[in-house]
Structure 1
Amino acid sequence: MARFIRRLLVEDKGGATAIELCILTALISVAIIASLHTFSNQLNNTFAAASSKIAITP
């Protein structure tokens, strides 16, 4: 029984792999959110500049 428990604790790397994948996914998510935030500000500025140059006369 002790040999079985030792084998489970030493040789089982499934938990470490799952944690590594979660950390990697979290980092990718943060990068995507940051890039979308930057892109949305630039897009908003572009539309604001375009709309200020459009003159609508009734």
Structure 2
Amino acid sequence: MVSIIATLHTFGFNLRQRLRREETGATAVEYALLVGLIAVVLVVGITAFGPALSDFFKGLAGKTFNAPVTTPTP
């Protein structure tokens, strides 16, 4: 009977130690790698498509701000 209690006590102690163990460092490294990868993809995308997107938005702005103003009729 004493050995069962001692075994359960040891099991509970080991379980608590495992749960208390800090593993936030590994998670932080994973998030840092993801942020770095996203940054690289953004830089490559902006470099590749930047001039085309700029021309697109300039044309869109020109069409929007030069559009004729219509007043609603009742």
**TM-score (normalizing by structure 1):** 0.57
1:28 to 2:26 alignment: yes
How many residues align? The count is 47
RMSD: 2.3
- From 44, 47, 54, the equivalent of 1:46 is 44
Task: Measure the CA separation in 2 of the matches of 1:17 and 1:52.
Answer: 49
Q: Secondary structure at the match of 1:51?
A: helix
What residue is the counterpart of 1:13 in the other structure?
14
Task: Measure the CA separation in 2 of the matches of 1:41 and 1:17.
Answer: 35
Task: Measure the CA separation in 2 of the matches of 1:49 and 1:37.
Answer: 18
Larger radius of gyration: 2
**TM-score (normalizing by structure 2):** 0.47
The gaps in structure 2 that reach 5 residues or longer are 1-5, 57-74
Deviations 1:6-45 (A, max 9, x none): x64xx4222111112xx12x22211111111111111000
